[in-house]
Amino acid sequence: MITFRSHRFEAIGTYWVIEAYEPVDDEAWADLLAAVAARIEAFDQAYSRFRPDSLVTTMAATAGTYQLPTDAAALFELYRELYEHTGGAMTPLIGGTLAAAGYDANYSLMPAAALLVPPAWDDVMAFAAPNQLTLHQPALLDVGAAGKGYLADLVGEVLEAAGLTSYCVDAGGDIRYRLGASEPAAAASEPAASAAEPLRVGLEHPADPTQVIGVAELSPGWSICGSAGNRRAWAGYHHIVDPRTLQSPRHLAAVWVTARTTLLADALTTALFFVAPDTLRRYYEFEFALVRADMALAASPGFSAAFFTADQS
């Protein structure tokens, strides 16, 4: 495919790439990038637990009822579903536990002597329309298990609102890929143009970030996200902590998920550290690949990828 525009930048602690696969003039592209930057800033100002002026930081200090941004419903409703499906393991109330483990606002990476067990959802908070969150006590929320993927979707919405239909948003490996509006095929033997060209995505080797373990083919209209314990690892922990054990899961080395939204793909890469794929496939449409700690590979039939070094099982 032809890349007409490409922009690389850093935001929310990761590297982003936005590519446009259709012509965009200079003025429109500049306006679009400004709108993207503003959208990212608004999301970060609401949900970051790493900045002192965020809404999440305010909620960590004071109980009460808060008006969340209009994008909150999809995020918190999915969190609530996955909280139930994982037996409480996937929870936005993990923020205090992560901070105590050393993944705090100062990135101290110095674990406390004892970690905090997250409280039960209904004991602490209630989410209700229109986008209101009531905290019965102060709580440090962390939406990192789904937030970056969701932000990739929201950035995609900014692009689409400006009329761009063929693009890729890559938010540190959380990728949303669109290739034109889907149109009915002219005949049964002619596929829709939007399904023509998959995006090839390298899958990072969980034991060596300078290598790839395989290459996935991402169809237009889908998103892909990955998670591995080799990133953001310190003192026996990584960025996922199981609230039931207060330990980071070690049975999986890496997880990748493809889904129709980057929000869902990102969220499920964390949920799969807690429950088996079949449990989640009862509720959601997605494909997956898991690399276990012994480097054995398990993948769903619809996960389109060629793997190089992991053993199939």
pLDDT band at 107 (very low <50, low <70, confident <90, very high): confident
C-alpha distances (whole Å) from 171 to each of 18, 89, 132, 152, 295 are 9, 25, 27, 6, 26
pLDDT band at 233 (very low <50, low <70, confident <90, very high): confident
Residue 114's pLDDT is what?
83
Taking the model in full, what pTM does it have? 0.92
Residue 186's pLDDT is what?
35
| Cis? peptide before 249, omega within 30° of 0 | no
C-alpha distances (whole Å) from 159 to each of 144, 176, 294 are 23, 12, 41
Contact 108/102 with Cβ under 8 angstroms?
yes
Q: Is the pLDDT score of 138 beyond 90?
A: yes
C-alpha distances (whole Å) from 119 to each of 103, 140, 141, 210, 243 are 19, 11, 11, 39, 9
* 146-188: pLDDT as tens digits: 999 999 999 999 999 999 999 999 999 999 999 986 443 333 3
* 48-98: pLDDT as tens digits: 999 999 999 999 999 999 999 999 999 999 999 999 999 999 999 999 999
pLDDT band at 241 (very low <50, low <70, confident <90, very high): very high
Q: Is the pLDDT score of 191 beyond 50?
A: no
Residue 209's pLDDT is what?
85
177 or 309: which leads in pLDDT: 177
Q: Is the pLDDT score of 2 beyond 70?
A: yes
Among 178, 166, 225, which residue's Cα sits nearest to residue 201? 225
* 199-223: pLDDT as tens digits: 999 999 998 888 999 999 999 999 9
